[in-house]
Structure 1
Amino acid sequence: MVFQGSSTAISHTGKVRSNNQDSGYAGSNLFVVADGMGGHAGGDVASSLAIARLEALDKPYDTTAGAEKALRDAISEAAVDLIDTVHVRPELAGMGTTVSALIMVDDYAVIAHIGDSRIYLYRDDTLTQITTDHTFVQRLVDSGRITPEEARYHPRRSVLMRVLGDMDPDPELDTFIMPTQPGDRWLLCSDGLSGVVDDAHTAKALGMGLAPGRTADILLKQALDGGAPDNVTMVIVDVGGQHPVFSGTATIVGSASNPAGVEVPAAAPRRASWLHPNRQAANEPTHFEPAPEFLEELIEEDRRRSRRRRIGWIAGLALVLVLITGAVWLGYQWTQTRFFVGADEDTVVIYQGVQQNIGPISLSTPYEDTEIPLDSLSDFARATVVGTISASSLEDARRIVADISDLAGGSG
């Protein structure tokens, strides 16, 4: 039967990219996000072709197995479309796209996924990431080499290990079926959202209970406020709920919303260039799919980076300790240029250092015992000596002692 609920799709170029290579689709039963890659034109074409191929699946299904097979077949056909397109326009070689798709069948969600776009489920005030990123850093997380938080800022976080591209007509997909229930909110998004807005803020926005369109606007604003270095695309799907039931035509956003985006125009005349022809369309692609033999090189590079980071921390800590030790030593040396007059148990003594202590550490030592008995001093003079008398130098300290000696003689 036709899915009962409401949905929205929204896409934005972001604050850095010059064009939008993402595509999104929200229909009556089908919902898709595709994040294209491969340069200024390649990413547009790749994500648009994926949406164009999947669009025919937007219909009711009798069984979840039938919907799952349809997703697998359509995505494989999209891979063939990409390969055929590169034959016509070889300058687009290397293009590809992620695909995260969801078909609603009765009380179930049928999911297909490849790449690093994500599908989340918000249920009972809890946000759960349903798909697993097909990225190099996710492998590092899975193997325990780095934490999920470290993965968010890893320099290789955009390296895809699986993608719908122009090289493999039989891409390796993740497909599975999950039960869904009224009140569920599904979020499909490109990494332009998930890479900027963390799960806590995403869950807060989804939990406000606003209509899908308003919720998407809030999440988009958070991504833009966070810098939005990449295209931002999301599809929000509510199962049942208080908002109007979906009706009308499908919503298509991003590059797929431009009819020309799904066409393969004739190759433009090529000008002489020192650039490789397959690089001419490049516009700082955010992803690339490494060859299998490149994985070990990446892992070894990560190990080297970790070692350098540890060495850096150790060197930095050692430098701080050296600076602290040097400052303490210089401070102590300065104290040893100072003198003061004080008392031991029964005589007047000249001390080298300063009167203060640092915990149990004394910053002064007896320098010269004057052998002037404390008992020979007046009460006031004795109290003054016991309280210590600062001196500007050793000579000044001896002058003070001479004065005290005269007082002692006078008192005698």
Structure 2
Amino acid sequence: MVFQGSSAAISHTGKVRSNNQDSGYAGSNLFLVADGMGGHAGGDVASSIAVTRLKRLDHPYASPSDAERALRDGVSETARALIDTVDVRPELAGMGTTVSAMVMVNDYAVIAHIGDSRIYLYRDDELTQITTDHTFVQRLVDSGRITPEEARYHPRRSVLMRVLGDMDPNPELDTFIMPTQPGDRWLLCSDGLSGVVDDAHTAKALSQGLTPGRTADILLKQALDGGAPDNVTIVIADVGGAHPVFSGTPTIVGSASNPQGIEVPAARPGRTSWLHPNRQAANEPTHFEPAAEFLEELIEEDRRRGRRRRFGWIIGVVLVLGILAVGLWGGYQWTQTRYYVGADEDTVVIFRGVQQDIGPISLSTPYEDTGIPLDSLPEFAQATIEQTISASSLPDARRIVATISETAGGGG
């Protein structure tokens, strides 16, 4: 049956790059995001080919397993199309694209995924990332070597371990089938969104219950407000819900929306000028698929980074402990400039320090035993001394003792 719900697709170049290498598709049953890689022209062509080939799968299926098989075959055909394109246009060698696709079949979502674009499910006020990034840093997260938060800012976060490219006609694709239900909101996006807008803000935008198109606009604005250093592509599909049921022609966005998308001319030699020093860099590929030998270099680089991080952490702890120790020592030294008059068993004593303890550590010590018997003083004077009398200095303490001595003499 045809998908019952509503959907929207939107794509934006972003604030840094000069061309859009992303493509997106929202149809009757198929929803897709492809993030191209391979330089100025290669990424455009790769993502366009992916959408052009895979949009043929946008029709009802008898069962989820049929749709899953169709997605696998479609992705393999797309990989062969990329290889054939490079045979004809060798200047595009090295191009590739991520693919995150979803086909709705009755009450199931059939998902195919390769790369670092993502599919999320928003259900019962909770956002869940459904796909797993095929990246170097995700391997580090899975092995417990870094945290997901550290992965967001890792310098190698764009290194892809799996991608749909022009080298492998049988790419390793993740496919699975998930039950879906009315009220579910599915979000497919390139890393231009997920790399800038965190899950909390994404969930907040999805929770407002606005139409898919309005929700996509809100998410895009958040990515642009965050700097949008990469192309941003967003596809949202609502299952059932209060919004109108999807109808009409499919929505194609990004590079694939260009009628000449697959015939993008070869990249011209990069030119820079003092007026636009960053333009060439903006056209560099956003992802990198490493050769096997380079992976070992990346792993060793990350080991070195981990050692530096641990060393820095140790140095930081030592510095903090050192500062605390200096502070505590300074505080203790200050206490030793204070005096007070009190009682030590049966005599009046001048103490050095303050009348406080830190755990088992006393901050005062007897400094001078005056020899004045405590029982020679009137009861009120005894009680006052037992509660201690603070002095501003040693001479002040001795003046207090002299007064007490007169009291003892008067009492005698």
Sort the TM-score into its range (normalised by shorter chain).
0.7 to 0.9
Report the CA distance shift for 1:411/1:85 in structure 2 as closer, same or farther (over 3 A): same
Report the CA distance shift for 1:395/1:176 in structure 2 as closer, same or farther (over 3 A): closer
Equivalent-residue separation in structure 2 for 1:402 and 1:217 (angstroms): 83
Q: CA deviation at 1:289?
A: 0.9
Residue in structure 2 matched with residue 275 of structure 1 by the alignment: none
**RMSD value over aligned CA atoms?**
3.5
Residue in structure 1 matched with residue 322 of structure 2 by the alignment: 322
SS at match of 1:314: helix
Q: CA deviation at 1:251?
A: 1.0
Residue in structure 1 matched with residue 133 of structure 2 by the alignment: 133
Residues 98 and 163 of structure 2 are in contact (CA less than 8 Å); yes or no, is this contact kept in structure 1?
yes
Report the CA distance shift for 1:376/1:106 in structure 2 as closer, same or farther (over 3 A): closer
Larger deviation, residues 291-300 vs 24-33: 291-300
Residue in structure 2 matched with residue 58 of structure 1 by the alignment: 58
Residue in structure 1 matched with residue 277 of structure 2 by the alignment: none
Residue in structure 1 matched with residue 37 of structure 2 by the alignment: 37
Q: CA deviation at 1:226?
A: 4.2
SS at match of 1:79: helix
Matched, 1:255 2:249: no
Equivalent-residue separation in structure 2 for 1:99 and 1:247 (angstroms): 24
Report the CA distance shift for 1:216/1:384 in structure 2 as closer, same or farther (over 3 A): same
Q: CA deviation at 1:84?
A: 4.5
Equivalent-residue separation in structure 1 for 2:393 and 2:263 (angstroms): 92
Letter in 2 for 1:286: T
Q: CA deviation at 1:74?
A: 3.5
SS at match of 2:141: helix
Residues 76 and 171 of structure 1 are in contact (CA less than 8 Å); yes or no, is this contact kept in structure 2?
yes
Letter in 2 for 1:189: C
Equivalent-residue separation in structure 2 for 1:327 and 1:314 (angstroms): 20
The alignment of Structure 1 onto Structure 2 pairs a total of residues equal to 407
Residue in structure 2 matched with residue 351 of structure 1 by the alignment: 351
Q: CA deviation at 1:342?
A: 3.0
Matched, 1:283 2:288: no
Residue in structure 2 matched with residue 23 of structure 1 by the alignment: 23
Equivalent-residue separation in structure 1 for 2:58 and 2:86 (angstroms): 27
Q: Using structure 1 for the length normalisation, give the TM-score.
A: 0.83
Matched, 1:309 2:309: yes
Taking only the aligned residue pairs, the percentage that are identical comes to 83
Gaps of 5+ in 2: 273-279
Equivalent-residue separation in structure 2 for 1:401 and 1:240 (angstroms): 89
Equivalent-residue separation in structure 1 for 2:31 and 2:153 (angstroms): 29
Q: CA deviation at 1:293?
A: 3.1
Q: CA deviation at 1:98?
A: 0.4
Residues 122 and 186 of structure 1 are in contact (CA less than 8 Å); yes or no, is this contact kept in structure 2?
yes
Residue in structure 2 matched with residue 336 of structure 1 by the alignment: 336
Equivalent-residue separation in structure 1 for 2:191 and 2:229 (angstroms): 10
Larger deviation, residues 65-74 vs 163-172: 65-74
Equivalent-residue separation in structure 2 for 1:165 and 1:404 (angstroms): 95
Q: Using structure 2 for the length normalisation, give the TM-score.
A: 0.83
Residues 184 and 238 of structure 1 are in contact (CA less than 8 Å); yes or no, is this contact kept in structure 2?
yes
Residues 89 and 267 of structure 1 are in contact (CA less than 8 Å); yes or no, is this contact kept in structure 2?
no
Residues 17 and 282 of structure 2 are in contact (CA less than 8 Å); yes or no, is this contact kept in structure 1?
no
Residue in structure 1 matched with residue 99 of structure 2 by the alignment: 99
Q: CA deviation at 1:36?
A: 1.5
Matched, 1:370 2:370: yes
